[in-house]
Amino acid sequence: MAFLVAVAACLAGPGGTAQAAVPASPAVTYTNPIAEKRADPHIFRHTDGYYYFTATVPEYDRIVLRRATTIQGLKSAPETTIWTKHASGVMGAHIWAPEIHFIDAKWYVYFAAGATNDVWAIRMYVLEGTGANPLTAAWTEKGQIRTEWESFSLDATTFVVNGVRYLAWAQRDPSVNNNTDIYLARMANPWTITGTPVMLSRPTHSWETVGYKVNEGPAVIQRGGKVFMTYSASATDSNYCLGLLTANAGANLLSQASWSKSATPVFTSNASTSQYGPGHNSFTVSEDGKSDILVYHDRGYKDISGDPLADPNRRTRVQKLYWNADGTPNFGIPVADGVTPYRLSSYNFPDRFVRHYDFRARIEANVTKLADSQFREVRGLTGSGTVSLESANFPGYYLRHKNFEVWLEKNDGTAQFAADATFVRRAGLADAAGVSYESSNYPGRYIRHWEYLLNVQTPSTATDRADATFYAQ
C-alpha cells in the first residue's frame, strides 16, 4: 500500500492531489553570525542536551568553551577558558583549531600549537577532561599526537566508521613542495594513532593552491552508507573554500583509491551575499535531530590588509546542509547575515521545490543549484503581521505577483512592489502542518502552482488547496 501511495504521488499530473507525509527534515532557521571573532569553529551536540562550542580565538593563546541547549543560544552563552598556552616551550604559541569530542566517557580536545622558540613548529596535541560538564572538568595534557614525520601538522579530527575510530589531520610532507595534505590513520586510543597513515588528498587543483598549496581542516559526515570528508583549501583570505572527499563506508578507508575527490570546490565565497573565505567547517545536528547543520567561519568583507592570520574578524556561522536526490551533500552558498533561508516543497508533488528560473517562480524537482530554491521569510514589506520571501542568492529580490504570475524581482522601493511582494502566512490549506501564502493586496488569492508555474489565484477545490500548500524544509 505504501508503495502504491508513493507511485500515485509520482504519477499525478499538474494540479493532482496526491501527497506525501510531512518532510522528515523540516525547516530550521538561525540568525548569523553565531560568534564574532571565532574561527575554525567546532560544535558538538552531547547526549546531555547541550551543544558545546569551541573555536580559535584571535589572540591564539587559549582554548575556550561555551554551551547552550540551542545552537542560537551559543551566541550569548558565557565563555569559559579551559586551558591557556604554556609560558615557554611547546604549546606556547599559535593555539589553533580546537575540537571537542566525547569518547569512552571522557572529554577530549584536539588542538594545534607552536612553541615559544619557534611559533611555526605547529604540532597536534590532546587534552583529556574528566567530569560531566567540560566547562568545569578537570583537564590534563595527554601530549603530542605523533605521526610519521616531525613536521607542520594541525587540524586533528576523529570519527568512527563501522566500529573503527580514525584520526584525520593535515600535515606537511617534508619531501613535497606543499603546505599540507590530508592524512588518515586508525587510533589505538584517543591520543595515539596506530599503523601507517595514508595520504588522502594533496592540493593539486588550481582552487586548492591560491596563495598557498593547502588541504587542511578535515571534517566528516556520514549518510546513506557513504563517508563524506570536507576539507579547506588555499590561503585563508577570500580564496579559502571547501573541497569534498567521498568513500563507501564499507570500503578500506585506509586506501587512497577508496576515496574520490571533487573536481571543483563545494563551498566558496559569494559576493552577492557578502560572504568571503568560507571554510574550516564542522557538522552538527539541529535541535530536533532532523537536520544536518554546517558550521563554518568566514568574513563579511573581501579585502584584507596584511597577513590574513592577523585579521581577527573571521566569525562562526551556521546553516542547514541539504542532500541531493542522489545522496550527495549540497552545501549551496554561504547565505547572507541574518536569518537563514529555507526551501518550500510542494504538498502534492513532494519531490518538487519552489525555485526561480530566469526569474519566473515555479516548482521543480532535483534543484541542485540549491540557492535558487532558498528563500528567507522576512517581515512583510508593507508592515507587521505579514511576510515577504527574499531570494537567498539575490538579496533584495523578492517573490511578487505581477498580472497574477509570481516572479522574482528586485525591490524598486515603490508601494506597488511592496504590496505585490507581501503575503499573509497561513496554515496550509490542505494540511495545517504546511504553509500557504495569501496575497496581502488581493485577499483570498494564494500562491499556488499550476502546470508547475506559480501564480496567485483563488482556491476553490481540493486540488486548488493542495496546489497552494507547501512544506518548509
Give the residue from 159, 143, 162 showing the smallest Cα distance to 99.
Answer: 159
Please report how many Cα atoms fall inside a 13 Å half-sphere around the Cα of residue 142, on the Cβ side. 21
CB 421 within 8 A of CB 387: no
Residues facing residue 255 across a β-bridge: none
Backbone φ and ψ of 241, nearest 5°:
-160, 175
Distance from C-alpha of 86 to C-alpha of 34, rounded to nearest angstrom: 29
Q: Which residue has the cell 518550500?
A: 344
SS3 content of the chain, % helix, strand, coil (to 5): 10, 50, 45
Q: What are the beta bridge partners of residue 439?
A: 423
Cis peptide before 58 (omega within 30 of 0): no
Chain centre to alpha carbon of residue 101:
19
Handedness of CA 328, 334, 337, 341 (dihedral sign): negative
Q: What are phi and psi of 33, to 5 degrees?
A: -80, 160
**What residue has cell string 586506501?**
255
**What is the rounded CA–CA span in Å between residue 350 and residue 344?**
10
Q: Assess contact for 190 and 158: CB atoms under 8 A.
A: yes
Integer Cα distance of 393 and 331 in angstroms = 13
Known catalytic residue at 40: yes
CA distance 38 to 132: 25
Q: Which one is catalytic: 40, 377, 390, 431?
A: 40
Element (H, E) at 4: helix 2-11
Largest CA distance in the chain: 77
User: Strands 51-56, 62-68: parallel, antiparallel or unpaired by DSSP?
Assistant: antiparallel
Which cell numbers hold the place of 464?
Answer: 486548488
Using DSSP, state whether 416 is helix, strand or coil: helix
| 372 close to 357: Cβ distance less than 8 angstroms | yes
Q: Would you call 377 a catalytic residue per the annotation?
A: no
Active-site residue, from 155, 208, 216, 438: 216
Phi/psi at 223 (5° precision): -165, 140
Measured over the CA atoms of residue 362, residue 363, residue 368 and residue 374, the dihedral's sign is positive
Catalytic residues: 40, 216
